[in-house]
Amino acid sequence: MATKTHNLSLPCLLIALSLLQGTLAIRFAAVNNASSTPGGQRFDRDIGIAYTLKTMPGIASFIWKTFGQPSEGDRRHYYPKDEVTTIIQDLQDGALGETGDNNVYMSAKGIETYPPGDGARFMFTSILYHEMTHIFQWSGKGTAPGGLTEGMADYIVLKSPFYVEGYSTPGQGEKWDEGYGTTSRFLEYCDSLREGFTPELNRMMREVYLPEYWNQLLGKDVDQVWREYKAKYAKPN
């Protein structure tokens, strides 16, 4: 689920939906640019534009709620145009999903591999939670470790109704900023030490990421917290 910038091309059908949040309209759009491919055809058959548009506003609201961002001023936006677009297309690097600016790119080839039946929508939505988090989370204007921002995106999935059971387990991984499931479980542990830790860390990273934030929130540096976390879940010999 790497982050990559693409040039937006919308030669196919574009459908948009607006969601009013306070005084600001967030516009959600979806387009299938791979409708001639097996994955794009499966998207149309098993998931669809209508489902995507119905789902995106709820994901945005869930992200804001989980990060403790009730007001517009707390949230990250892309001015002057606040629009989030999900685009189905072929991705050349093997990723299931990527983000660029305020666009989410979902891999048509990846959709081919989704579970059968209702599992396709479940998997698609789970990945969409992760990718949309990248759009709305704070990253210290690029100063935060990539593993931390990826872990926060998976943290949102972990808290959502679309977490894939068994994807990650507490105590896994070799370093705290390994990313994805490893870091999401570590953030969950930090929440147990201080209620609301992860939302607070996200807020602190609005302008810049500093290692000192861990000391400020937990009274310990991140490496010490990681060692204690690993010790808690260490398997007996």
Higher pLDDT, 199 or 19: 199
Q: Does 64 share its domain with 83?
A: yes
58 contact partners, CB below 8 Å, separation of at least 6: none
Q: Which CATH number is 64's domain given?
A: 3.30.2010.30
pTM for the full model? 0.89
Question: pLDDT tens across 23-73, in order?
Answer: 346 899 999 999 999 999 999 999 999 999 999 999 999 999 999 998 888
Same domain, 103 and 151: no
Last residue of a domain, one of 79, 111, 136: 136
Q: Are residues 65 and 7 in the same domain?
A: yes
The verdict on 132 and 159 lying in the same domain is no
124 and 236 belong to one structural domain = no
Tokens of 124: 């698609």
Q: Are residues 108 and 37 in the same domain?
A: yes
What HEC string does 84-141 produce? Answer: EEEEEECCCCCCCEEEECCEEEEEHHHHHCCCCCCHHHHHHHHHHHHHHHHHHCCCHH
Phi, psi (rounded to 5 degrees) for 15: -125, 130
From 136, 160, 190, the end of a domain falls on 136
Domain interval for residue 126: 1-136
**15 and 98 co-located in one domain:** yes
CA angle, residues 39, 45, 51, in degrees to nearest 5? 105
Per-residue pLDDT band at 120 (split at 50, 70, 90): very high
pLDDT tier at 1, thresholds 50, 70, 90: low
Residue 207 — very low, low, confident or very high, per pLDDT cuts 50/70/90? very high
Sheet holding 83-89, edge to edge: 15-21, 24-32, 83-89, 103-107, 97-100
Both 180 and 111 in a single domain? no
Q: Do 144 and 132 reside in the same domain of the chain?
A: no
Question: What are the CA-CA distances from residue 30 to residues 24, 146, 154, 230 (Å)?
Answer: 20, 27, 22, 41
Judgement on whether residues 63 and 120 belong to the same structural domain of the protein: yes
Which of 77, 110, 136 is the last residue in one of the domains?
136
- Separation between Cα atoms, residue 83 and residue 18, nearest integer Å: 9
How is residue 104 written in tokens? Answer: 């989410």
Structure tokens at 192: 């147990």
Predicted confidence at residue 11, as pLDDT, reads 39
Q: Which of 217, 145, 209, 142 is nearest to 179 (CA)?
A: 145
* One domain for residues 118 and 131: yes
Q: What total of structural domains would you count in the chain?
A: 2
Same domain (yes/no): 8, 104: yes
